[in-house]
Amino acid sequence: MSIKQSPKGVLIALIGALLITPDTLFMRLSEMDVWTMLFWRGMQMGLVLVFLTLCIQTYREHFNLIFSKTGIYIILSQGLGSITFTYGIVISSVTLILLCVATSPLFAAFFSHYLLKEKVKKSTIYASFFTIVGVSISLLDAHNAINAPQGNYLTGLVCGLFTAAALGLNFVLLRSKPKIPAIGATGFGGFLTGLIGILFVQKDNIFSGDLIAISISGLVILPFSFAALTYATRFTQAANVSLLMLLETILGPVWVWFFIRETPSLQMILGGLIVILTLMIYFIQPFKKKYHV
């Protein structure tokens, strides 16, 4: 079934994409350790999204689909992706992690091949190659980023790519079972993240850090940006949403630089430009062919 294109969809997606761009800034401002941050972000996002699902879903059987086999896979991938994203941000550069996360549509294409038997396009293979080059260039100079955590950047790279893979898998699973409420499944994924966080957090640390900063992220930025991006897919193609999501890759590091002076090196910026330009061409090319632009 084709989606009726509407400027409304692009506008809603733009709002969602812009809303999520300062997420990593508030993660930094919270000054929390990994497990404390996981607990607050997961539980807060879960509460809001599950509440929204209860308000939106009018049929009980639709809500029950969240706990089907595919729904559980969505919850697990969402939860694990949130864990690796949070861990990566805590130990590594925001720029490096967001560059990795931006590759999620490429992972989705490969998952579609294995799970939905869809053909992998040559453009996907080419885009994957150039994004690997761009991310590698950034990784090799990540230790020269200013005011970034001096953790293991290779581990940060793995976390970022795992997060991208989890997001790509989520996209494919939701597309395979469109009746599953995406917002609700993501909400329970948030609960899973919060539960894992509470298992490992030290009791003395649970109220440490800036609770206001993390609450802005967990109660506002994450749930409402995701809800907007998900709702937008009803009115515009997923490629449009993915293209607008690149705003987080561009603006996320800008927010962090402006407020706390976390500055990527010139080599990291060069690698980032390669990734962003590659993905923009990848998303725009199908429209050029369709409309003979």
Comparing 289 with 262, which gets the higher pLDDT? 262
Q: pLDDT tier at 287 (50, 70, 90 boundaries)?
A: low
Distances (CA, A) of 88 to 63, 84, 158, 187, 214: 32, 6, 8, 21, 16
- Flag whether 4 is in a domain: no
Q: pLDDT tier at 169 (50, 70, 90 boundaries)?
A: very high
Comparing 87 with 227, which gets the higher pLDDT? 87
Helices (H), ranges, the chain: 7-20, 23-30, 34-56, 60-64, 69-91, 94-101, 104-115, 122-140, 153-176, 182-200, 211-215, 222-232, 238-260, 266-291
Q: For residue 240, what pLDDT is reported?
A: 75
Give the mean pLDDT of 150-162.
Answer: 92
pLDDT score of 157 more than 60:
yes
Tokens describing residue 152: 């293991």
pLDDT score of 97 more than 60:
yes
35-49, 102-116, 261-275: range with lowest mean pLDDT: 102-116
- Flag whether 192 is in a domain: yes
Q: Write down the pTM of the prediction.
A: 0.91
Tokens describing residue 241: 């949403």
Average pLDDT of the chain to the nearest whole number: 89
Give the mean pLDDT of 90-103.
Answer: 94
- Flag whether 102 is in a domain: yes
Q: For residue 286, what pLDDT is reported?
A: 64
pLDDT score of 1 more than 50:
no
- Flag whether 8 is in a domain: no
Q: pLDDT tier at 82 (50, 70, 90 boundaries)?
A: very high
> What are the tens digits of pLDDT across the range 59-69?
566 778 888 99
d(CA 19, CA 41): 16
By percentage, how much of the chain surpasses pLDDT 70? 92
pLDDT score of 4 more than 80:
no
> What are the tens digits of pLDDT across the range 111-148?
988 888 888 888 889 999 999 999 999 999 998 999 99
Q: For residue 2, what pLDDT is reported?
A: 47
Q: For residue 14, what pLDDT is reported?
A: 92
- Flag whether 231 is in a domain: yes
Domain that holds residue 230: 16-291
- Flag whether 6 is in a domain: no
The number of domains in the chain is 1
Q: For residue 179, what pLDDT is reported?
A: 85
Quote the DSSP letter at residue 227: H
d(CA 24, CA 154): 19
Q: For residue 57, what pLDDT is reported?
A: 60
Specify burial of residue 120 (Cβ count, 10 A radius: 0-12, 13-18, 19+).
Answer: middle
- Flag whether 108 is in a domain: yes
> What are the tens digits of pLDDT across the range 209-256?
999 999 999 999 999 998 888 878 777 776 677 788 889 999 999 999
Q: pLDDT tier at 293 (50, 70, 90 boundaries)?
A: very low
- Flag whether 131 is in a domain: yes
Comparing 269 with 235, which gets the higher pLDDT? 269
pLDDT score of 6 more than 80:
no
Q: For residue 55, what pLDDT is reported?
A: 81
Give the mean pLDDT of 87-116.
Answer: 92
d(CA 197, CA 239): 33
